[in-house]
A and B are shown apart, each in its own frame.
Chain A
């Protein structure tokens, strides 16, 4: 019981250090989340769900500092993509550096006026996502987020919205909560990039209507000491599509959770990640996919390249509910270990209550293929370039989940730059 009490105490200590938002249209949802958090407490490393990742620095009352990353003269990510830019500096919206949000139909959580469509959504998917596994850091987010974007997509969005998260204060502690609703048949692309803060807690709730299509591509920022926890909660209507890709390069601690509910027939959800880490890098992908409808497809593709003692974690679950016949579930998590000091911990899980389903999962760890390396070099490709080609080849299946070729190329370029910086 001492353990449970410690978790409750941690939650109180964290809350005491925060200035909680007051009033406004989301007050009831926040109060509900606060009560849930107070009942659960914050996670500890003894929790089964945090077995491979110590949450201490994510739950502590105050953040640890993170030095700013110097990207040199590298072009910012997504620079060549026609998009609506919305800039947050250490978690605070900066209108001066941003495009006009109103023109893109973007509203803000911080605005006090009633936003009716969001009222029925804010904290709702997060709250649903608390069973069967508790996610207290997400409840904390719902209770404490002071800002975030609210986007109601009614048709085919003209341009992607790009949330750019700048980090300027070495001890910043940011909490953002975004809600996106796609009406039936709508289509929208969300781009996110940047470290956001020394410590960043983000929740993204996405409600996808029948036949709607949601694309999400993000890159998490390269500040070495940054600590990040993100949750995506999404619910898919019939024949809809959810596609999310995350690039993580650097970061002393990253935990990305995705909680996906396929509730309409014939829906498709793909979630993918490419993570590259050198040295003090701990990256955790935790995914929970629930199939609750007929003929749905889910794909989880996670690839990690680890060197100099970097650690990769994958916890991925596919739950097929009774009656979710003809489910097609695919899950793969692989790591490329560039040395023996690095490690990959994987816990793939299948739980199936329907009899006519197709589910596969695989998890591997391996070194670079020396024969392929020699073959490339024998054709004149220098060692470093050959290694970089093979690393990109290893990550290719994850990157292939990005539909837009220009965006995929941007991601590849970012990876090549990372590899060039981390040669040895």
Chain B
């Protein structure tokens, strides 16, 4: 589904190289996790895949179901089925959360040649999904992420994902800032979306999220590369022993 080959990325503004040859394939129906020390390039990978400005791809490719992602505008990537739950969700004063969601849902439908969702239908679906994430009606009326607590912002990301039903979901530290109960809600939200046609790439530092969202494959990223790939046991090893052992082993 998602195929990243030999991806090299540097900052546009200066010569700092961040990704130094990432190779990673996520198959449909699978959950892959990426762990790795702070600053190893995990968020950069997710930004580059979703089309954020400021990075320059110097080598390599990334394709979603065979379509080359790196050539597309951010909105085209979204329409192609890519979704990034941000590590730091963005506040947009003046744009209501509900308006934002509805605009996004209908824009994607339009780009796929589907009919727009009626206001009534949209409201019904969004209410139901918001409820399961314990997002109340008042939060839906507020401007996007403005004044939301850290955990509320993360739940709002998952709500967007649930509404947009992307085929490739990247979650960047969605667990950080969540309390134990909220983490369960978010994990349930993700698990509800798990299906044969959908892939997940879950970036996290902690095993506790992976207790709820069971990964099929775990990757370790260090200094801009995937340095080790294994099963769920790899996450447990990180949890127990940190990265020192793994890194000394591969270097």
A residues near B (Cβ < 8 Å) are 369-372, 374-383, 385-386, 389-390, 392-397
Contacts and interface: CB of A to CB of B under 8 A. Distances in A.
A73 to B, nearest CB: 22
Given A379-B160, A389-B103, A374 B94 contact: no
A376 B111 CA distance: 15
A369 B111 CA distance: 24
A377 B74 contact: yes
B73 interface: yes
Contacts of B160: 379
Contacts of B92: 369, 372, 375-376, 390, 393
Contacts of A381: 75, 103-104, 107
Interface stretch (B45-53, B119-127, B176-184, B238-246): B45-53
B164 interface: yes
Given A378-B50, A389-B103, A383 B75 contact: yes
Interface of B: 50-53, 73-75, 77-79, 83-84, 86, 89-95, 99-100, 103-104, 107-108, 111, 143, 160, 164
Contacts of B89: 375
Given A385-B103, A390-B95, A377 B90 contact: no
Contacts of A374: 51-53, 74, 90
A177 B106 CA distance: 47
Contacts of B111: 380, 382
A383 B94 CA distance: 18
Contacts of A370: 53
A379 B94 contact: no
B94 A393 contact: yes
Contacts of A378: 50-52, 74-75, 77-78, 83-84
Nearest to B143: A393
Contacts of A386: 75
Nearest to B101: A379
Nearest to A392: B94
A70 to B, nearest CB: 28
Nearest to A370: B53
Nearest to A377: B74
Given A379-B108, A380-B108, A390-B92, 11 more contacts: A374-B52, A375-B89, A377-B74, A377-B75, A378-B51, A378-B52, A379-B100, A380-B107, A392-B95, A393-B94, A396-B94
Given A379-B104, A380-B108, A382-B107, A393 B52 contact: no
B94 A375 contact: no
Q: Which of A378, A379, A392, A397 has the most CB of B within 10 A?
A: A379
Nearest to B94: A393
A386 B90 CA distance: 14
A379 to B, nearest CB: 4
Nearest to B77: A378
A224 B84 CA distance: 43
A375 B90 contact: yes
Given A385-B103, A385-B107, A379 B93 contact: no
B48 to A, nearest CB: 12
Given A370-B53, A380-B79, A381-B75, A375 B103 contact: no
A392 B96 CA distance: 11
A362 to B, nearest CB: 14
B52 to A, nearest CB: 5
Nearest to B91: A372
B51 A377 contact: yes
B90 A380 contact: no
A380 B94 contact: no
Nearest to A395: B94
B76 to A, nearest CB: 9
B88 to A, nearest CB: 9
A390 B91 CA distance: 12
A376 B53 CA distance: 13
A397 B107 CA distance: 25
13 contacts: A375-B89, A375-B92, A376-B104, A378-B78, A378-B83, A379-B108, A380-B78, A380-B104, A380-B164, A381-B104, A389-B103, A395-B94, A396-B94
Contacts of B91: 372
A397 B78 contact: no
Contacts of B86: 375
Contacts of A393: 92-95, 143
Nearest to A375: B90
Given A370-B53, A383-B73, A389-B103, A377 B78 contact: yes
Contacts of A385: 103, 107
B54 to A, nearest CB: 9
B104 to A, nearest CB: 4
Contacts of A390: 92, 94-95
Given A381-B104, A383-B75, A397 B53 contact: no
A196 B217 CA distance: 69
A371 B91 CA distance: 9
A379 B52 CA distance: 12
Contact of B73 (A375, A377, A397): A377
A370 B77 CA distance: 18
Contacts of B104: 376, 379-381
A389 B50 CA distance: 20
Contacts of A375: 86, 89-90, 92
B112 to A, nearest CB: 10
A144 to B, nearest CB: 42
Nearest to B93: A393
A168 B3 CA distance: 62
Nearest to A389: B95
Contacts of B84: 378
A-B interface, 9 closest residue pairs, ranked by CB to CB distance from nearest: A393-B94, A380-B78, A377-B74, A379-B104, A375-B90, A380-B108, A396-B94, A377-B75, A393-B95
Contacts of B164: 379-380
